[in-house]
């Protein structure tokens, strides 16, 4: 028992040093995304000045908001060395059930409809989290399975039905286009979620422990961190945010069917990794993930404006994902070498 405590105590300064170095690297990555955005936007604006008009910028932010929302929840899972591939299906199920509820009950308050969508997403997150944290099944296997299960449930409930904007209350549709001081409400919602998640990960023990789990799960157990509970909570939060994104999808697009959100999971994973969140866990921020979603959305819009074939849109996104994973691996090796140097210096001081 004493040996385990000594190992855990020795692991604390190493985790602190790793976190500080990872934070500095993360800031450089986030700055790199901002530079990449500028390199994408400036040439496009020169080729087509209408691209940087206020309405175009608002549309760009709106289009990226849904993916950015999902990326926030995904980040909380990925930093624990897991992944949630079911977010697109959770969004689709939440969107359809929310649209069906408000369409069938016209007098229902809009906030109640949104809360119902969030609840649907949270239930999906509970199922994922229970299988991973309690059942000890790899998250890749679990969420790949629930991706199809949730989508199948969505199709079974829809029965081929499509809910159109004409069936939805005006208040919900107006939410998708409403603005506050010129900023779309959907963008404000996304920024609030990013801010809350960033504060949680940075300033609260339960958030910081997610990074410790991703950095070294065995050391996290020895340090007394409730690994299962934290991983379970991360999946619940991911599902909850995906449910919120589903409600926002209804407000944004109006027309909803069982195929809503199909394929979004790949965009979300790409946004998270491009945004500097290490696919192997332990580092990254929700701000970076949101910026990654904005970068991918901006690239897509730029390619459309420049009339480049859709194939290249997917090819470029895939290439960015490969580059980001390569960079993450190189940074991880650099971090490992730095920690070995720190440990050697401390060993020398102790001697």
pLDDT of residue 215: 84
Q: Which residues of the chain have pLDDT under 70?
A: 1-29, 313, 317, 321, 324-325, 327-329, 331-333, 335-336, 338-340, 342-351
pLDDT of residue 26: 55
CB hemisphere CA count around 55 (13 angstroms): 1
pLDDT of residue 126: 96
2-339: in CATH 1.20.272: no
**Which residue pairs from 169-177 have beta carbons closer than 8 angstroms and sit at least 24 positions apart in sequence?**
169/102, 169/106, 169/110, 171/110, 172/102, 172/110, 172/113, 172/250, 172/251, 173/251, 173/254, 175/110, 175/251, 176/248, 176/250, 176/251, 176/252, 176/253, 176/254
pLDDT of residue 276: 82
Between the alpha carbon of residue 158 and those of residues 2, 40, 42, 113, 255, the distances in Å are 58, 40, 44, 18, 13
Q: Whole-angstrom Cα distance, residue 237 to residue 231?
A: 10
Q: Whole-angstrom Cα distance, residue 128 to residue 268?
A: 17
pLDDT of residue 246: 94
Phi, psi for 206 (deg, rounded to 5): -60, -30
> Taking Cα atoms as reference points, which of 53, 348, 61, 2 lies closest to residue 190?
61
pTM here is 0.84
CB atoms within 10 A of CB 275: 29
Residue 179: DSSP 8-state: E
Buried b (16+ CB within 10 A) or exposed e, 166-188: ebbbeebbebbeeeeeeebbbbe
pLDDT of residue 270: 87
pLDDT of residue 9: 47
Q: Whole-angstrom Cα distance, residue 129 to residue 233?
A: 7
Q: Is 351 exposed, middle or buried (0-12, 13-18, 19+ CB in 10 A)?
A: exposed
**Are 225 and 106 in contact, with CB atoms under 8 Å apart?**
no
Q: Is 42 exposed, middle or buried (0-12, 13-18, 19+ CB in 10 A)?
A: exposed
pLDDT of residue 25: 56
Every domain of the chain and the residues it spans: 2-339
pLDDT of residue 3: 46
């Amino acid at each position: 028992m004493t040996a385990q405590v000594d190992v855990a105590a020795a692991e604390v300064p190493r985790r602190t040093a790793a976190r500080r170095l990872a934070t500095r690297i993360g800031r450089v990555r986030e700055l790199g995304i901002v530079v990449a955005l500028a390199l994408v936007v400036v040439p496009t604006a020169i080729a087509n000045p209408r691209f940087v008009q206020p309405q175009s910028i608002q549309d760009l932010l709106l289009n990226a908001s849904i993916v950015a929302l999902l990326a926030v929840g995904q980040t909380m899972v990925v930093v624990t060395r897991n992944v949630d591939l079911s977010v697109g299906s959770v969004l689709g199920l939440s969107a359809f059930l929310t649209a069906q509820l408000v369409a069938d009950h016209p007098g229902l308050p809009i906030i109640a409809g949104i809360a119902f969508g969030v609840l649907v997403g949270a239930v999906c997150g509970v199922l994922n989290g229970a299988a991973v944290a309690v059942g000890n099944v790899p998250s890749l296997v679990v969420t790949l399975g629930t991706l199809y299960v949730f989508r199948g449930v969505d199709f079974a409930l829809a029965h081929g039905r499509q809910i159109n904007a004409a069936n939805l209350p005006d208040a919900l549709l107006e939410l998708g286009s409403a603005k506050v001081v010129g900023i779309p409400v959907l963008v404000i919602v996304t920024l609030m979620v990013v801010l809350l998640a960033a504060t949680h990960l940075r300033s609260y023990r339960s958030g910081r422990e997610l990074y410790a789990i991703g950095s070294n799960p065995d050391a996290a157990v020895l340090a007394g961190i409730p690994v299962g509970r934290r991983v379970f909570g991360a999946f619940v939060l991911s599902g909850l945010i995906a449910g919120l994104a589903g409600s926002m999808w209804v407000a944004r697009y109006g027309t909803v069917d069982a195929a809503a959100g199909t394929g979004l999971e790949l965009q979300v994973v790409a946004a998270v990794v491009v945004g500097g969140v290490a696919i192997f866990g332990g580092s990254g921020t929700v701000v970076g993930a949101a910026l990654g979603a904005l970068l991918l959305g901006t690239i897509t819009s730029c390619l459309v404006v420049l009339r480049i074939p859709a194939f290249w849109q997917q090819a470029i996104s895939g290439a960015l994902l490969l580059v980001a994973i390569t960079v993450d691996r190189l940074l991880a090796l650099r971090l490992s070498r730095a920690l070995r140097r720190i440990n050697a210096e401390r060993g020398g001081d102790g001697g």
